[in-house]
Structure 1
Amino acid sequence: MPSALVTGAGRGIGLAITEHMSRRGWDVYATARSDAALSSLGRLPNVHPIALDITDRSAISALAEHLPCELDGVVNNAGIIVNGPIEGLSLDNLVRQLDVNVISQIAVTQAVLPSIRAAGGRVVFMSSVSGLITTPGTGAYTASKYAIESLADALRMELRPWRIRVSLIEPGPIRTDMWADVLDDYDRMTAELSDEHRRLYASHLAGSRKLLGRMQKLAADPKRVTKAVEHALTSRRPKRRYLLDLVSRTQKAAIAITPTAVSDAALAAATTSK
C-alpha cells in the first residue's frame, strides 16, 4: 500500500486530499493541530493522524519517527492567509505568514526527503494562482506563494539525480470550509488595522471585500485539486505545475502579455470600491 504525508489535513483542501487518497487505497499520514481534527481524521480508513504544528522545529525533527522508512509522497498543504495593505501589516503576522507557508514547508520536506528518496517518491507543494499574480491587499500571502514556487523549482532540479519528481498545485478559490469563512477572516483583518489605516484604505478595503464575495461564489469543486494531487503522486509523467481551471489559465496568460502599467491599473480598479 503506497503512503503519503499530508500536512494541514484537519480542514479545507488538506482534508479533501486526505479523504481522496485514503479512498484510493493509500496509507495517509495526516497532520493537524486540534484534538477535534485529529479525532475526526482517526475515523477515516487508512489514515494515521499526527499531531503537528509545522512551525515547531523540534516536532519537525521528530516527524520521521511517525512515518514509514519508505514514503511515497509528501503533500505540503498546511498554510495560512494574511491579508491587508502592506502599510498596515503587523510585522509579526508577516513573519508568521512566511514561516508557515514557506520555511516550515521546506522544514517538513527536508525532514522526510530521506524516506522519499528510499521509496523513489514524490514531493508536492500546494501553491496557488496567487503565486503567479499579485493583487492589492494580498502582498503577504502572494509573497509566500511566489517564494514556494521558486523553492520548488530549485528543488525539482536538485533532485533530478534521484528521479524524485516535484510538482506545484496552483488552484484558484476552492469550495471548502476555509473559503466559506473568508469574509469573516477578512473582517477580522480589517478590525486589527489602526483607525488611520482603515480611513486611508477604506475604498480599497470595501472593494476587496466585494471582490472576495464574488470569488467565494465562483469557488471550484475540491475534486479539481484532489485529482491533480493524485496525478502528481502517481503518474509516470507528473506535471511540474497544475493550473486547475480556465479562469486561472486566462489570468496567467493575460498578465504575461499585458504591460505592467495596464495590469496595475486594472487590478487596482478591481479592488477599489466606487
Structure 2
Amino acid sequence: MPYKTQEMVVVTGTSSGIGRATAEQLAAEGFHVLAGVRRQEDADKIKQKNIEPVILDITAIDTLRALAERVEQDPLGRPLRAVVNNAGIAVNAPLEMVPLDELRRQIEVSVIGQVAVIQALTPALLKSSGRVVNIGSVGGKISMPGFGIYSAAKYAMEAINDSLRREMSSFGLNVIMITPGGVSTSLSEKGVTTANRLSKLMTPDQHRRHGRLFDAVKAQAESWATSGIPPKKVAEVVSRAIHASNPRTRYTAGRDSALLTRLVRILPDKLLDRMLRSQMKLQ
C-alpha cells in the first residue's frame, strides 16, 4: 500500500510506550510526525528521520499555542492529517482514600489536557479534513476495583469522543477511539509506583479494608507491564485508523479488549462484579 508522504501527524506523549511506537510507525510510513514530549532529554532520544520532537505539556496553554502555530506555519505547507491524543497518567488506588489532588491531577491531564489539544488543533484539522484519534482504554468500558480514578478519566473521554464525533461529522472531521486492553508500557510501571506511594497514606482502618486490594492493583499493573501486548500492536491499529478512507468510529487493540468490551454489554452487573473480583483474587 503506498503511503502519503507530505502530511503531518501530531502525536502526544511520545517519550515511551504507545506514543513512541505510534510516532515511529507513522514516521516509517512517510508522515512528518510532530512528537510531543515534556522534557528535552526525551526529545533528544526520539528525534529521527520524519520525527520532529516538540516540547509539549498538554496542561500548559502556552505550549499548546506554540504547537498550533507550528502546525499552521509549517514551512512546507503540509496539511495536518491527524492528531493522536495519547498523553496521560494513571492514578490507581481505592476510591475511599485517593487524595482529591490526585483525582484532580488525573482529570487535568487525562481529560482536560486531551480537550485542550483538540481545541488547539481543530482549525488545522478542519482545513485538511483530518481526524482526531483518541487513545482510550478498556478501562473506559469497565471499571475494575482500584482503578476507578483512571477509569473515570477514560469514561469521560468516551463521552467527549462521542460528542465531538457527532458535532463535527458534517464538517468532514473524523473522530476515532482506539481501545487497547493490557499493554506492556511504562504507564503500568508508573501506576505501580503511584500505588506504592498512595498506599503509605492509608490509615490503619483503611489498610485493613484495602491492603489486599492494593496488592491486587499492583499485581494487575505488573501483569500488564510484562504480559500485555507490545505498544507496536496499538500503533498498527492507529495507523489503520489514519489510513482508512472510511474509518470506523472505534477500534480495539488486543484480545482482552475485544472480549471485555463485548462482555460488559451483555453480562449482569453482579456477575461482572464477581468475575472481576475473582480475576484480581479478591474473593
| Correspondence for 1:61 among 62, 65, 68 | 65
TM-superposition CA deviations, 1:143-173 (whole Å, max 9, x none)? 1001101111111111112221111110012
Q: Give the superposition deviation at 1:74.
A: 0.4
2:272 counterpart residue number: 263
TM-superposition CA deviations, 1:238-261 (whole Å, max 9, x none)? 121111122222212222211112
| Correspondence for 1:102 among 111, 119, 126 | 111
CA distance in 1, matches of 2:31, 2:52: 11
CA distance in 2, matches of 1:186, 1:258: 29
SS in 1 for 2:197: helix
2:186 counterpart residue number: 177
- Aligned residues of 1:33 and 1:53 also touching (Cα < 8 A): yes
Q: Give the superposition deviation at 1:11.
A: 1.3
- Aligned residues of 2:147 and 2:217 also touching (Cα < 8 A): no
CA distance in 1, matches of 2:97, 2:32: 44
2:207 counterpart residue number: 198
Asked if residue 51 in structure 1 is aligned to residue 51 in structure 2, the reply is no
TM-superposition CA deviations, 1:47-100 (whole Å, max 9, x none)? 111111111123323321122453111000000001100111010110110111
CA distance in 2, matches of 1:126, 1:188: 26
> What residue identity is the alignment partner of 1:29?
L
CA distance in 1, matches of 2:220, 2:189: 14
Q: Give the superposition deviation at 1:272.
A: 4.3
CA distance in 1, matches of 2:91, 2:193: 13
**Structure 1, unaligned runs of 5 or more:** none
TM-score, normalised on structure 2?
Answer: 0.90
CA distance in 1, matches of 2:184, 2:273: 28
2:76 counterpart residue number: none
| Correspondence for 1:38 among 38, 43, 49 | 43
CA distance in 2, matches of 1:207, 1:51: 36
Q: Give the superposition deviation at 1:177.
A: 3.5
CA distance in 2, matches of 1:161, 1:199: 54
CA distance in 2, matches of 1:204, 1:175: 21
Change (3 A) 1:214 1:176: closer
| Correspondence for 2:9 among 4, 11, 18 | 4
Written as runs of structure 1 = structure 2, the 5 A alignment for 1:128-147 is: 128-147=137-156
**Structure 2, unaligned runs of 5 or more:** 1-5, 74-78
Of residues 188-197 and 69-78 in structure 1, the stretch that sits farther from structure 2 once superposed is 188-197
CA distance in 2, matches of 1:147, 1:239: 20
2:196 counterpart residue number: 187
Q: Give the superposition deviation at 1:176.
A: 2.9
- Aligned residues of 2:91 and 2:102 also touching (Cα < 8 A): yes
- Aligned residues of 2:185 and 2:225 also touching (Cα < 8 A): no
Of residues 205-214 and 68-77 in structure 1, the stretch that sits farther from structure 2 once superposed is 205-214
Q: Give the superposition deviation at 1:195.
A: 4.4
1:224 counterpart residue number: 233
Written as runs of structure 1 = structure 2, the 5 A alignment for 1:15-30 is: 15-30=20-35
CA distance in 2, matches of 1:270, 1:223: 26
SS in 2 for 1:123: strand
CA distance in 1, matches of 2:10, 2:104: 25
TM-score, normalised on structure 1?
Answer: 0.93
Of residues 241-250 and 103-112 in structure 1, the stretch that sits farther from structure 2 once superposed is 241-250
CA distance in 2, matches of 1:119, 1:185: 40
SS in 1 for 2:217: helix
> What residue identity is the alignment partner of 1:124?
V
CA distance in 2, matches of 1:92, 1:184: 17
What is the root-mean-square deviation in Å for CA atoms of aligned residues?
A: 1.8
CA distance in 2, matches of 1:148, 1:93: 18
